[in-house]
Amino acid sequence: MTVATLTLLLTLWLPTEVVAKTGDDDHDHHDGAVEEVIVQATRSRQRVQDAPIRVEVLDGEEIEEKLLMRPGNISMMLNETGGLRVQVTSPALGSANVRIHGMRGRYTQLLADGLPLYGGQAASLGLLQVPPSDLGQVEVIKGSSSALYGGQALGGVINLVSKRPSADASGEIIANTTTRDAQDLSAYLSSPLSGGWSGSVLSSFNRQTLQDLDDDDWIDMPGYDRFLIRPRLFYDGSDGARAYVTVGAMTEERRGGTVSSGVVASLEPFEQNQDTRRFDVGFVGELPVADWGYAQFRASGMRQSHDHRFGNLLEKDEHETALVEASLTGETSTSAWVGGVTYQADEYDPETFSAFNYSYETPAVFAQLEHDFSADISAALSARWDDHSEYGGQFSPRLSLLYRPDSWTFRASWGRGFYAPTPFVEETEAAGLSRLEAIAGLDAEIAETLSLDFGYSAGALEMGLTLFGSNIEDAVRLQTASPNSVRLINQLGITRTRGVETLIRWRRTPYVITASYLNLDASEPGETLRDRRTLPLTPQHSLGLVAMWEQHDRGRVGLELYYTGKQSLQDNPYRNSSEPYLHIGLLGEIVLGRYRLFLNLENLLNVRQTREDTLLQPTRRPNGQWTVDAWAPLEGFIANAGVRVRLGR
């Protein structure tokens, strides 16, 4: 594997550097100390605790922790974040998306430094193709964010923020291997250049040998080989000008379905493979305007091509997304505002099934005003108008309020947004388009979300409680048209979620203990408007407990316990609901100078869905799938071990 070029980055809307923190150079969290970080996902330069819009931030330490468990991708890092659930959409390929507060994964916008580098609608394999080694922090906004980012952010936004190069040349090499015959190798290098420029580059290679764990001739863990490279450049001028450029290239070959000599119930072999090639480029430029604000220009482009194989059928396609945006931001002692214009184009070109091609063009205008009414009370009002080429004009407002008396924090947020339907829902991403009828007469999906947040922080203790809910009108779902065909329709009635999310964290160096709980009630209309049914694959109860001991010059030891309650299942001939299960993990790392040796034991109870039932269906589903949905881990117990080598200072 080669570690290549140098390249760019300027932290977009706002740089993600730490502006003030209580702590020493080795980043230890002292008793009750909280890092104050600038967030960029809200489009305003604010500390996370000052923003009326609630943003949850995973800092560098949390990212580093999860990196030791899953160095090849960000799926585990997001799955163990409160209120998020990484749902496997295709057991054959291992693909997955992120559900925020129970809303379907297609409503979640995945961004890189505020840019749609993974597409307007990130493919379900996208999460598995993003390594965490060069991330500085992860920002999550839950609830409708169409007012900030348009129609792909109906359920929320996950913004992956890159590391900024330090004042000295530095880097890290990570090598990892697992008991399921997987290997990960990545190298991250960064360095100051000259004239205000600095650069970084990430290069990674990841592979997995396919695994048939229950010997039924169906692959439970798909095999893959993936190579990625991403150089970035950053510019910080003495006059306040900033710039960021990034280029990325990725190629992956993924293999699933039956083993070489295996067959499905029709007595035929059924390969399910996917080859992916992606190239993207992004730019952010920023210039100060007098002494009251700055002008910003953003642009990005992404092209991704796939070769999908479903048995004897090969589906080839291309996805393209382009973004251009210009905005102006200003501030006074009590207010901050931003306004701008943007244009996004999303195109899908299926070579095999041309009836499903689409080309969406969406010019838009947006504005946001934040105002401090007093030292304790502030509000943010966002609004956006999208002129969608297929679904017409769409107005998306969002209102957020913040009240901070002493150690308490109260937030309230309401938003409305839309989603422009495509042929891709979870079922078609898993089974392809061969059995989908031509799309006609769909309306845009419309949602309103509301959340109330209560927080308390004093000394070593931090607590939070969130009440949330959403109503989706005209939700698109798959309907069986015949034993061998399906169609997309707008759901009659309201798809509804209601829930409570809690978090308690106690932090006293070198210990951190975190407990979380999510109660979720998600339902949709049944066969008639009077009937309602629980949304499949949405557990009502989810609990987590994480205990960590860490000293940066010595190492860390961590214990994780995650409980997932019963889930309603659909189109599963073996059961109507899943079994609850407990996931236990144990992590250890020891520091030996510039070397760090780590060992992670995941799923110690060896929970595996195929211990209960086979993945294979007795007959092929109308949409073309041969498997039931994944409701529990498919890989069972896994141990991984590796070494991190720090370069430079």
Nearest CA to 366 out of 397, 391, 402 is that of 397
In this structure, are residues 599 and 588 in contact, taking their beta carbons and an 8 Å threshold?
yes
Tokens of 126: 């996208």
Residue 41's pLDDT is 77
Where are the chain's structural domains? 18-648
Angstrom distance (rounded) from CA 240 to CA 532: 56
Domain 18-648 architecture: Beta Barrel (2.40)
Instruction: Specify the 3-state DSSP secondary structure of 149.
Output: helix
Within 10 A of 574 (CB to CB), how many other CB atoms are there? 11
For 547, residues 6+ apart whose C-beta sits below 8 A from its C-beta are 511, 512, 513, 514, 558, 559
Residue 6's pLDDT is 29
Nearest CA to 36 out of 23, 24, 18 is that of 18
With helix as H, strand as E and coil as C, how does 56-100 read? EEECHHHHHHHHHHCCCCCHHHHHCCCCEEEEEEECCCCEEEEEE
Angstrom distance (rounded) from CA 259 to CA 248: 33
Residue 35's pLDDT is 55
Q: How far apart are the first and last CA of the chain?
A: 24
Nearest CA to 329 out of 319, 339, 320 is that of 339
With helix as H, strand as E and coil as C, how does 601-636 read? EECCCCCCHHHCCCCECCCCCCCCCCECCCCCCCCC
For 349, residues 6+ apart whose C-beta sits below 8 A from its C-beta are 317, 318, 319, 320, 357
pTM of the model: 0.92
Residue 36's pLDDT is 64
Residue ranges for the chain with pLDDT beneath 70: 1-36, 122-124, 529
Residue 43's pLDDT is 76
Instruction: Specify the 3-state DSSP secondary structure of 220.
Output: coil
For 267, residues 6+ apart whose C-beta sits below 8 A from its C-beta are none
Is beta strand 313-331 parallel, antiparallel or unpaired with respect to 541-551?
Answer: unpaired
Residue 44's pLDDT is 74
Nearest CA to 128 out of 55, 77, 177, 178 is that of 77
Angstrom distance (rounded) from CA 89 to CA 101: 17
Q: Which amino acid is at 582?
A: L
Angstrom distance (rounded) from CA 456 to CA 527: 44
Query: pLDDT tens for residues 99-157?
Result: 999 999 999 999 999 999 998 776 667 778 899 999 999 999 999 999 989 999 999 99
Angstrom distance (rounded) from CA 632 to CA 220: 12
